[in-house]
Structure 1
Amino acid sequence: MISSLIGRMVQFITLVLVLLTASAVNAATSRISLASTVIFDVMRYGAKGNGKTDDSQAFMKAWTAACQSKPNAKSIVNIPGGRTYLLKPVAFTGPCKPSKMFVQVSGNIVGSPRKGDWMSNHADSWLQFSNVNGLTVNGKGRIDGLGPMWWKNPCISPPPPGVTCHAPVEVQFKRCHGMRLNGLTLVNSPRVHLLLTTCNGAIVSNIHIISPETSPNTDGINIAGSTNVNVRDSVIAAGDDCIAISGGSSNIKISGIMCGPGHGISIGSLGHGGTDIVENVDVRNCTMRKTLAGVRIKTYQGGVGYAKKISFTGIKFDAVYNPIIIDQYYCPTKQDCLSSATTVKLSDITFRGISGTSNMENVINLSCSKTVACTNIVVDRVYIKSAIPGRKVYGSCINAHGRATHVKPYLNCLKP
């Protein structure tokens, strides 16, 4: 009895500390009235936490109660540690009445091992948060999407002829302005691990993403149609881009990322079937280890729009393939690739203070469109050598305009 009471007291104190920490990160408000804080523990709503019983309904009941709690209160959905919770696809939707919503993830969450359980009516994501402003998801829990059962066959059931299947996204935040995500570990996603869609003012920090380099289309973080996003101090190992920034995104800051294995940090792909705009992206102080690409911008031929004011600063490479690349001929299938007079216009791109080693000979590849030049490309204080002793490296350009200063290998292909 005493030990149980002590355990509950420790849990309450932990939640209060989480609330105080999250509030300090979110704003300069100062004091929190515990009287306005309400905790909704999923165990009290019927969760078993044994890794076998479906806890989806218990999670939904806890979320609904928290979301419909007192206005101007602060609601915490608590997922206790020491347990594993099996969930089918779940949509945590808003708007919510409380001014702040918190989800404390101390336990582990795992998907169903039966594909038929993954049918849902909220697009193609497994765990989705939507229309919840001021949301904080925090904790040391682990979220496992059981990716191996999807990687060989992304279909839930045999598709009609000509239809391509897409495996689910592991965690998605959609229209969650001011969102904070901190501390979680995401592993073995069926597809993208973390997707931010139409979010403004989001901060993602201190997360771990882990999938094998052979896992297909498992981007670590995909930022789409979002603004004022900050991703920092995280470790990402994936089978695709560690971070991909898609069309409609602006004012994006990426820093302190350890990437590898994976395909590096990418802008794009852009221009596939419509107009794409990306601007004001700052990537700095990141490390790439044995990745397929380092920092790159990739666009399809035939696209419309622009990507500008993009900087990569203080990047370190360790045995990276394709360390610096602009690819305006992106066509991953290598089939029916377009050759067009239109493409996404690239300008004001800076690569500065970059060093390390490469497994490729062509370490700086600026392949711009032959019909729409890249302009104001700056390559400054970039030093890349071969990871193989004695092998020479070089850089190349297609229709790239700008300047190169203090660069090894010598880059003389940039046009004025």
Structure 2
Amino acid sequence: MNRRLPANMAFVFVRKSRINGLISLNSKSEHLNFFCVDHFNISHVNLTAPGNSPNTDGIKIGMSNNVKIRDSHIGSGDDCIAISLEKLTLISITSLVVLDMGSVPEAWESTKKKRTSRMLGDTVFTGTSDGIRFKTWESSVAEITVSGFLYENIKMVDVRHDILSTSTRSIGDSHVQIRNVTFKNIWGTSRDKVAVNLQCSKSFPCKDIQLIDINLIHNGSDGPATALCEYVNGSARGKMFPPSCLN
């Protein structure tokens, strides 16, 4: 029987609190785990684990509200910030430096229909596996809608998947609909030719997706960066490279 390894620090049912200036090194599992917290500020934290270390999420957040993360540095072997969408609102992430593997933020579905609001801005990704990522799993019992996301002022440096919305972990068609998402002023380099990969559910397509001022370059021998869209609608404006695939 495999036992789950402990987080370096966990906060459960904590309200009106903060972490500042914390250093966490080589966690066995996630560095910081937050569950059912409200009005929690995280700033100037440095979370580091080897790039090949499994399940070493930097920050994991579930069923929480009013969480702010800023001015921090995360280098991890798994998801740098992983956020469960169940009963979660008002998450703000700004001025972050992200290294090694993982993604910020990785969002996965809950079992309940819920609207959320989240912002990621003024952040640098360096050498990560994924940049901005929505992850869905197998077909859930309930129909789920997640909405109200803003990602802006983000620099990508040699990131494998800069913008990724996919149901690659689903065996069946996902019941999660992603809508009202804005990607604004995102620039840098992509390790993969497909820099913008918006693959959504056939049954519940992504809606109201906005791309504004995107400039992602791929310098590989297979040619310039491209975009891929499946079951998604929205609009694009401003500087747009790779050319938008939105309808």
**Inter-CA distance 260–278: structure 2 relative to 1 (3 Å threshold):** farther
Q: Distance in 1 between matches of 2:8 and 2:115?
A: 24
Mapped contact 2:49–2:76 kept (Cα < 8 A): yes
Please state whether the residue corresponding to 2:198 is helix, strand or coil.
strand
Task: Show the counterpart of 1:192.
Answer: 30
Please state whether the residue corresponding to 1:314 is helix, strand or coil.
strand
* Partner of residue 254 from structure 1, selected from 61, 83, 93: 93
Q: Which amino acid aligns with 1:322?
A: H
Q: Distance in 1 between matches of 2:126 and 2:33?
A: 23
What are the superposed Cα offsets for residues 116-174 of structure 1, whole Å, 9 maximum, x if unpaired?
xxxxxxxxxxxxxxxxxxxxxxxxxxxxxxxxxxxxxxxxxxx2xxxx43211111111
Q: How many residues are aligned here?
A: 243
Mapped contact 1:250–1:280 kept (Cα < 8 A): yes
Q: Distance in 1 between matches of 2:211 and 2:190?
A: 17
Task: Show the counterpart of 2:117.
Answer: 280
**Residue pairs, 1:323-402, within 5 angstroms:** 323-327=162-166, 329-331=167-169, 337-340=170-173, 343-388=175-220, 391-402=223-234
Q: Distance in 1 between matches of 2:219 and 2:71?
A: 26
Mapped contact 1:319–1:387 kept (Cα < 8 A): no
**Residue pairs, 1:27-176, within 5 angstroms:** 159=1, 164-176=2-14
Aligned: 1:227 with 2:65:
yes
- What is the TM-score normalised by the length of structure 1? 0.56
Please state whether the residue corresponding to 1:295 is helix, strand or coil.
strand
Aligned: 1:408 with 2:241:
yes
Identity over the aligned pairs, expressed in percent?
Answer: 27
- What is the TM-score normalised by the length of structure 2? 0.94
More helix by share: 1
Task: Show the counterpart of 2:52.
Answer: 214
* Partner of residue 102 from structure 2, selected from 258, 263, 272: 263
Structure 1, 354-363 or 242-251: larger mean CA deviation: 242-251
Q: How far off is 1:179 after superposition?
A: 1.2
Mapped contact 2:193–2:220 kept (Cα < 8 A): no
Q: How far off is 1:390 after superposition?
A: 7.9
Please state whether the residue corresponding to 1:330 is helix, strand or coil.
coil
Identify the structure with bigger relative contact order (alpha carbons < 8 Å, sequence gap 6+). 2
Q: How far off is 1:318 after superposition?
A: 0.4
Q: Distance in 2 between matches of 1:224 and 1:201?
A: 13
Q: Distance in 2 between matches of 1:391 and 1:360?
A: 10
Please state whether the residue corresponding to 1:410 is helix, strand or coil.
coil
Task: Show the counterpart of 1:300.
Answer: 137
Please state whether the residue corresponding to 2:16 is helix, strand or coil.
coil
More strand by share: 2
Structure 2: state its 5+ residue gaps: none
Please state whether the residue corresponding to 2:138 is helix, strand or coil.
coil
- Higher gyration radius (CA): 1
Structure 1: state its 5+ residue gaps: 1-158, 332-336
Q: Distance in 1 between matches of 2:15 and 2:189?
A: 39
